[in-house]
Amino acid sequence: VQLQAFGGGLVQAGGSLRLSCAASGRTFSWYARGWFRQAPGKERDFVAAISWSGSTTYYADSVKGRFTISRDNAKNTVYLQMNSLKPEDTAVYYCAASSTWPPTIDDIDYWGKGTQVTVSS
């Protein structure tokens, strides 16, 4: 079972990036999917989550109105569209899957490898 995140990179403040997280080894259609991030020297924090059906989403206050999470169960993939990026969004972003809703960091069943997002000022 593997979750693999893609799409990180370097972007200027105000720019956009789209992260993808593809799952393999099993179907995650019945799992909540989410994104967390970890900045240097800080703890891993919740960013966004989406229910198994995609009908419900949940965001950290710091990204509301700027980030959008979505999923395509046919592709076993979850996305994070990040707009109006700020330097404080710089972190390693991790995708995750959980059988709990809404998922907290303690409820994650599967973690993906991270992808670096760097926002320059």
Say how far apart CA 111 and CA 3 lie, in whole Å. Answer: 7
The residue ranges of the chain whose pLDDT is under 70 are none
pLDDT at position 25, please?
Answer: 85
What's at 93, amino acid-wise? Answer: Y
106, 86 Cβ separation under 8 angstroms: no
Say how far apart CA 71 and CA 48 lie, in whole Å. Answer: 12
Say how far apart CA 93 and CA 35 lie, in whole Å. Answer: 7
Tokens 């059906």 correspond to 53
**In the numeric block, which tokens belong to residue 104?**
């907290």
Looking at the DSSP bridge assignments, the partners of residue 69 are: 80
- 26-52 pLDDT, tens digit per residue, is 888 889 999 999 999 999 999 999 999
Q: Identify the burial level of 36 via C-beta atoms within 10 angstroms of its C-beta, where 0-12 means exposed, 13-18 middle and 19 or more buried.
A: buried
Helix (H) or strand (E) holding 89: none
